[in-house]
Amino acid sequence: MSRLSFSPTEGRDLLFAWLALGVAFALFFEGGGQSVVDDLSSGNVGPLVTAFVVSLVTAGVGFLLHELAHKVVAVRFGQQAAFRADYGMLFLAVVSAMAGFLFAAPGAVHHRGRITPREHGLIALAGPAVNVVLGALFLPVLIVSTGMGLPTLSRVGSYGVAVNFFLAAFNLIPFGPLDGATVRKWSTPIWLVCFLVSAALAVFLGLGAL
């Protein structure tokens, strides 16, 4: 079995992706370019700073742990695996957030070595599975903080639930480079169950959290 390790380049890519996603989601959470410009021009940076911290803890962590789950499972199966940030797509994420919408594809884990279809499917499934777990962990944060009247912590719970359940469902769509295509190629029944569960969580809990 390969040993889990991180090169300086990979560490830099992970850090940069996390910070760039924090900026992109903060801009998106605050309503895009004009709202941000108005806040900055008036010197009201508090909401943007809060949104940045919230996005680092929710969306940033959700994206990065998704990718790291791919790596951990790949290494478990004897693969050589590393995360590589896509700097062009990270720039696009920030620009699109300024425009009021968001398209985020921070990079991917690349792995190589001999592998079975089952192992390949499990590597792909690991990312969405981590997002489901994270969404479930943020749910009690949302419930307790809302009940106690803690708006900032409630916001963390709300975005943590919504972003992670939507990430899981979106990545399990069986299309192109998304994880769902790999999982379905390995096992259609397993893909179908996982996709339906994640979609239900996204609709009933993710939308409800916003």
- Indicate the residue type of 179: D
Q: How far apart are CA 88 and CA 85, in angstroms?
A: 9
Q: Is the dihedral of CA 197, 199, 202, 207 positive or negative?
A: negative
- Tell me the backbone φ, ψ of residue 144, rounded to 5 degrees: -70, -45
Q: Is 67 among the catalytic positions? A: yes
What does the chain come to in residues?
Answer: 210
Tokens for 148, please give them: 């106690």
Query: Contact, 30 vs 94, CB < 8 A?
Result: no
Could you say which of 10, 30, 67, 119 is catalytic?
Answer: 67
Residue with tokens 């990979």: 10
Rg over alpha carbons for the chain, rounded to the nearest Å, is: 18
Tell me which residues are annotated as active site. Answer: 67
